[in-house]
Structure 1
Amino acid sequence: MALITFSGYPCSGKSRRADQLKSHLESLLQAPSYTGRKLKVEILSDDTLNIDRSAYDSSRSEKPARGALFTALQRQMGQDTILIVESLNYIKGFRYQMYCAGRELKLRMCTVYVLTPAQVCKRWNEERTDGRKYAPETLDNLIMRYEEPSSMVRWDSPLFTVAWEDADVPAQDIWKAVTEGIVKPPNVGTQSVPKAPTDALHILESITTQTVSAIMSAQSMNVATGGPTALSLPSSPPLEVRITLPPRNVTLSELQRLKRQFVSVHKKAIVIGTTEKGHVEFGERSVAEKFVQYLEENFKP
């Protein structure tokens, strides 16, 4: 139903803010004024996945940690869940990846930026006694590489900034964003491309060959040439299509040339799918009608 991405320096207080927001959202969901569907609020974080802080000591160990977070995110996202992702999320490319995953499921999304000065983060890191402390050099490196969220880019907006001195999160504004915000349609680039049926190549070759034979047969039987002509194709079951022929005899070589062009164009769509309105249709009647239309458009006068 919604995806809330937290972002901020290490040890900036994101966990505390996420807990505050979860508590507020659960209260709003249980309020008598709420009449929507039944939802649950979940927090996904490095701690819930048992990802140690040492995973960020090197890019080699950080990459699988981010992969584990993204896999868990995909598994927990859903129409019955408000998912709070409380992690560093300091790379804008990773935030965009999560944004695209949310769009695929038509979720409402927002970003919460926990803004805390670097020196405060370093002090809080040193004061930790729960075993979740970052190595000083790791902390410095993460702060240096941090890519700040921006309300100007679609994957970070709407953006809510929570300063470290603030007593609480803007729960009402976030609630409005995740319950009334715009649901963006899936990105075309993230949608799976439908594939043609396994016998599409056979149908394409068979139907176009039958159509060429039917045109040659119709021309040999008619004294007058040109005009609307009914073609009977010996498929199973038999098909009948209509074609408007030019006012001359169409030669076999011309038909074969147009057939090769048509088949060549559509073979690519069969092999890799087509993005034309997300629709793939390679039934016998559809192929016959498309081929007839292609011939009519390419016949020379």
Structure 2
Amino acid sequence: MPLVVLAGQPASGKSTAAAQLRALLELHGPVEVLDEPSLHLERNAAYSCSAHEKMARATLKSAVERVLTKRSLVILDSLNNIKGYRYEVWCIARTLGTRYCVVRRSMACQRGTTPAHNGSAGPLTAHNAGAEESSGDLADTVFHAAAIRYRFDDLARRFEMPDSRNRWDAPLFTLRPAGDHAECAEVLDLVAATVTGAAEAPGNAAGAAAATGQLLQPTIATTNPGLLGTNVLHEIDSAAQTVVTAISNAQTQAGGGPAGLLDIGGGAGKLQLTRLVPLAELRRHKRAFLKLATKITFSRIADATTAQRMFVDYLRQQL
């Protein structure tokens, strides 16, 4: 199922947009919202320094890997301010072959300034951490107002804007600053229709990709190779020997001449033999095939039938 990544500066209204989007997507099934509070991370501490910030991002990424499946719908509600991090999350979605989109929440203020709805207490305290602190008094927080303001300015300056020309940022939707509720509702409806495949979205003014609503296709670069079994070499050798035996028996029945079009059977396909292939040559080809099949791990030989089919294809090229 889809993965929706929210990106924006601190206190830009991402959690509000996530709650609204969750209400829309719950009509299509269960929705999981991943953010710092859901993973027992206190935002003031998680973003107090670069080391803690890296650990927070790693925790969020691990949660995405654990929760995202083909049956779940996940909203990642965090800063997601680094494009390399968004690429890593995109690779997770592509590995599962699911839908993916980025929703950027813009701010009404300039970088390095605190939005009015957060008050003078700072963005990481009054707004984002309001549900985490037992008291609204700034004196009860771990970091004083100056440190919070400095950290907010640092995060705002390092925010890397999503670009729809990047694969990992497309399709991209932009939510305007709070105020125009009708426009925000329209964009969220478009996001819900896109990630659920309910409609082909043509894009929006923020520059969403034209090919929205499409499933990502896993590739070798984004898919971990399957683990090889302890007896995989024996199984591949047995499958290849079955093909060698079938060819040898067919040539014997042909009176020592070319066997012609030979159906190996078992889903391995057919092999055209225009000359007599000695048994020694067949064994040499089998040894070469075993070396290739065991060294190239991404060939993913799942069973004996696959090994037979690959060996027959190998013989077509060699004979």
Q: Establish whether TM, by shorter chain, passes 0.5.
A: yes
Amino acid in the other structure paired with 1:18: S
Change (3 A) 1:43 1:245: closer
Unaligned residue ranges in structure 2 (runs of 5+): 127-135, 196-212
Structure 2 SS opposite 1:5: strand
1:84–1:253 distance in 2 versus 1, CA, 3 Å: closer
Letter in 2 for 1:187: P
Residue 138 of structure 1 corresponds to 151
**Aligned AA (2:164):** S
Q: C-alpha distance in 1, partners of 2:307/2:2?
A: 42
Q: 1:208 to 1:9 in 2, by over 3 A?
A: closer
8 Å Cα contact 1:118-1:143 kept in structure 2: yes
Equivalent residue number for residue 42 of structure 2: 51
Native 8 Å contact 1:51 1:65 kept in 2: no
Aligned to 1:19: 16
1:254 corresponds to 2:281: yes
1:91 Cα deviation (Å)?
A: 0.6
Partner SS, residue 19 of structure 1: helix
Aligned position for 1:274: 299
Shift of 1:265: 1.8
Deviation at 1:117, TM superposition (A): 1.2
In the alignment, which residue of structure 2 is the partner of 1:235?
none
- Percent identity of equivalent pairs: 23
Cα 1:46–1:214 shift into 2, 3 Å: closer
**Quick check: which one's strand share is greater?**
1
Cα RMSD (Å): 4.1
Taking a change above 3 Å as real, the CA distance of residues 22 and 247 of structure 1, as seen in their structure-2 partners, is closer
Flag structure 1 segments of 5+ consecutive residues without an equivalent: 31-35, 233-239
TM-score, length of structure 1 as denominator length: 0.69
2:47 alignment partner, SS class: helix
CA distance in 2, matches of 1:79, 1:215: 43
Aligned equivalents of 2:214, 2:83: Cα separation in 1:
21
Alpha-carbon offset, residue 112 of structure 1: 2.5
Once residues 260 and 194 of structure 1 are traced to their aligned partners in structure 2, the CA distance between those partners, rounded to angstroms, is 23
Change (3 A) 1:73 1:114: farther
Give the corresponding residue for 1:237: none
Displacement of 1:99 in angstroms is 2.9
Deviation digits for residues 3-40 of structure 1 (CA, Å, limit 9, x no counterpart) = 43332223x432xx5325524753x579xxxxx53445
Question: 2 CA distance for matches of 1:126 and 1:81?
Answer: 39
Q: Does 1:201 align with 2:221?
A: no
How many positions carry a matched residue from both structures? Answer: 275
SS of the residue 1:120 aligns to = coil
Secondary structure, aligned partner of 1:135: helix
1:73 aligns to 2:64 (yes or no): yes
Partner deviation per Cα, 1:195-223 (whole Å, 9 max, x = no partner): 55543311333454565577667767875
2:163 corresponds in structure 1 to: 150
Q: C-alpha separation between the residues in 1 aligned to 2:227 and 2:112?
A: 54
State the 1:73 CA deviation: 3.5
Distance 1:296 1:71, change over 3 A: closer
State which structure, 1 or 2, has the greater radius of gyration over its C-alpha atoms: 1
Q: 1:138 to 1:24 in 2, by over 3 A?
A: closer
Shift of residue 89 of structure 1? 1.4
Rounded to whole Å, the distance in 2 between the matches of 1:274 and 1:151 is 33
Which residue identity does 1:298 align to in structure 2?
Q
TM-score, normalised relative to structure 2: 0.66
CA shift in 2, pair 1:125/1:4, >3 Å: farther
C-alpha displacement of 1:261? 1.9
Amino acid at match of 1:171: A
2:190 to 176, 179, 189: 176
Q: Deviations over 1:117-143 (max 9, x none)?
A: 124328857434543765344333322
Structure 1 letter corresponding to 2:12: G
Q: Which residue of 2 aligns with 1:4?
A: 4
Shifted more, 47-56 versus 73-82: the winner is: 73-82
